[in-house]
Amino acid sequence: MFDHVWLNADLATMLPGGAPYGLITDGAVAAKGRRIAWIGARKELPGPASETHDCEGGLVTPGLIDCHTHLVFAGNRAGEFERRLEGASYEEIARAGGGILSTVTATRAADEAALLALAAPRLARLMADGVTTVEVKSGYGLEPATELRMLRAARALGEAHEVSVLATLLAAHALPPEFAENRAGYVQSCIAMMEQAAAEDLVDAVDAFCDTIGFTVTETTSIFRAAVAQGLPVKLHADQLSDCGGAALAARFGALSADHLEYASRAGLEAMANAGTIAVLLPGAFYTLNETRAPDIAAMREAGVAIAVATDANPGSSPMLSLLLAMNMACTKFRLTPEEALAGVTLNAARALGLDDRGVLAAGLRCDLAVYRVKHPAELSYWIGADLCQGRAVAGQAL
C-alpha cells in the first residue's frame, strides 16, 4: 500500500525526450515514504493508498525550485527605487555608497532572530507559488560575524518550514568600506569566511559577483580555487553589466551555474555548454533595473546551454517574491517558451543547485510536487498575480 496518492490531474513530469512537458493525461502519482513509488496513467494505478488527494482536474508538476535568491537581509531600498526612476543608474547608486552596501549596514545591525523573522514571510510567499526547494545566498554582511549569521538564518529557515533550503556563501558580493584600499585583503577574508562556514557545515556552495562593480576574474579565480580545495561547488553572478569573461570563468571551474548573463559572449556560452554549467536567467533584475540588453537566448539554445529561471529575490535589483511571475517575465522579456520556463524552475533549476533527486516526476525520486488550478502547463507562465497553487508535497508529505 502506498502512503499517498494524487489523482484526477494531468501530470507535467518534465521528463525530457517525450511529449511536451512530459505530459501524462489523467495521471496519478503515488508516494511511499519520501519518494515517488509509482507514476503513470490513473487507470493503471496498481494499488490503494493510506491517503488519497483529489486534484480536482488540475495540474501536478514537480515542486518548483528557486535556485537564486537573497532572502535573508534587513531593511529595504525603496528610496533607491525612486532614485532610479529619477534617472540614476544602478551602477551610479552603488558607486555612491548605496546599493548592496546600504543593505549591508542594515543587515549587520540585525541579529539572527531578526533576520529569520524578516525572511520567513518572504519564503512563505514563494512557497505559496508551489516552491519546495530554495537557494538562499549570504552577501549582505561582508564580514565574518554577519555572513555566518546569515547562513545560520538560512539553515534555520529550512528547519522551521516545509521546504528544502540550500545555503550559498556570497561574501564576494561587494567590497566593504573597511577594505576600500585593500582588495587583496578582502579576497583573503572571503576565503577565510568560506573555510569557517565549511567547518561549521553552514554552506552548500560558494558564489561571487564578477563584474565591473564586483570582483575581477583574477580575484574570483582565487576564491574559486579555495572553494575547490574545500570540496565546495561554485556558482557565479556573471556578465550582468558587461562582458567580463564571467561565463568562461564559470565554465573553467565547472560551476553549477552562471547567473544573469546579459552580456555573456557566444564563446562564453559555448564553454558553459561544454562544462555542463547551467545558465540562470533573472528577469526580475532585468525588469527592475529597466535594462535593455537581454541575455542571448538564441545563442544559448544554439550552444545547448541548459536554462534555469529564478526570482533573484533581493532588496535592490529584484524585490520579487513570485517564481511564477519570474516565469512570465522570462517568457515576455526574454522570449522563452512556457515549456522552457517550466523546465527552468524544475529540471534545470535542480541541476543549477547540483541536485539529482528532484526537478522531474519519476519513480525513485523525492516526492516534491505542486498542484495547480490550471488545465494546461502554459497557464503557469500566462497568468499574472493569480492564486494558482492549491497544494504541495515535500519529501512525500502532503501540505
Could you write out the DSSP letters of every residue in 149-203? HHHHHHHHHHHHSSSEEEEEEEEETS--GGGTT-HHHHHHHHHHHHHHHHHTT--
The reported pLDDT for the residue numbered 101 is 87
CB 365 within 8 A of CB 35: yes
User: Which fold, 2-62+359-398?
Assistant: Urease, subunit C; domain 1 (2.30.40)
Which residues are CB-neighbours of 165 under 8 A, at least 6 positions away? 123, 133, 134, 135, 136, 154, 155, 157, 158
**Segments of the chain scoring below 50 in pLDDT:** none
Q: How far apart are CA 64 and CA 369, in angstroms?
A: 8
Q: How far apart are CA 250 and CA 208, in angstroms?
A: 10
CATH architecture of 64-352: Alpha-Beta Barrel (3.20)
Show the cell assigned to 87. 534617472
Q: Give 2's DSSP letter.
A: E
Residue matched to cell numbers 545547448: 304
The reported pLDDT for the residue numbered 84 is 86
Q: How far apart are CA 394 and CA 130, in angstroms?
A: 10
pTM for this model (two decimals) = 0.97
CB 103 within 8 A of CB 316: yes
The reported pLDDT for the residue numbered 164 is 98
Nearest to 170 by CA among 253, 243, 227, 241: 227
Which residues are CB-neighbours of 345 under 8 A, at least 6 positions away? 64, 65, 66, 308, 309, 310, 323, 326, 327
Q: How far apart are CA 266 and CA 315, in angstroms?
A: 31
Q: How far apart are CA 7 and CA 57, in angstroms?
A: 8
Q: How far apart are CA 223 and CA 170, in angstroms?
A: 11
Q: How far apart are CA 355 and CA 69, in angstroms?
A: 17
Do 64-352 and 2-62+359-398 have the same topology in CATH? Answer: no
The reported pLDDT for the residue numbered 242 is 92
Q: Which residues pair with 30 in a beta bridge?
A: 5, 38
Q: Give 240's DSSP letter.
A: S
| DSSP reduced 3-state for 299 | helix
E strands, 43-88, where? 49-62, 64-66
Q: Where would I find the H helices in 35-182?
A: 78-85, 90-95, 100-108, 112-128, 144-160
Q: Domain segments of the chain: what residues?
A: 2-62+359-398, 64-352
Computed from CA positions of residues 163, 108, 170, 202, in that sequence, does the dihedral angle turn out positive or negative? negative
Q: How far apart are CA 191 and CA 320, in angstroms?
A: 30
Q: How far apart are CA 18 and CA 16, in angstroms?
A: 6
CB 364 within 8 A of CB 35: yes
The reported pLDDT for the residue numbered 98 is 78
Q: Give 43's DSSP letter.
A: G
215-227 pLDDT per residue, tens:
999 999 999 999 9
Q: How far apart are CA 169 and CA 234, in angstroms?
A: 10
The reported pLDDT for the residue numbered 266 is 97
Q: Give 366's DSSP letter.
A: B
66-79 pLDDT per residue, tens:
999 999 999 999 98
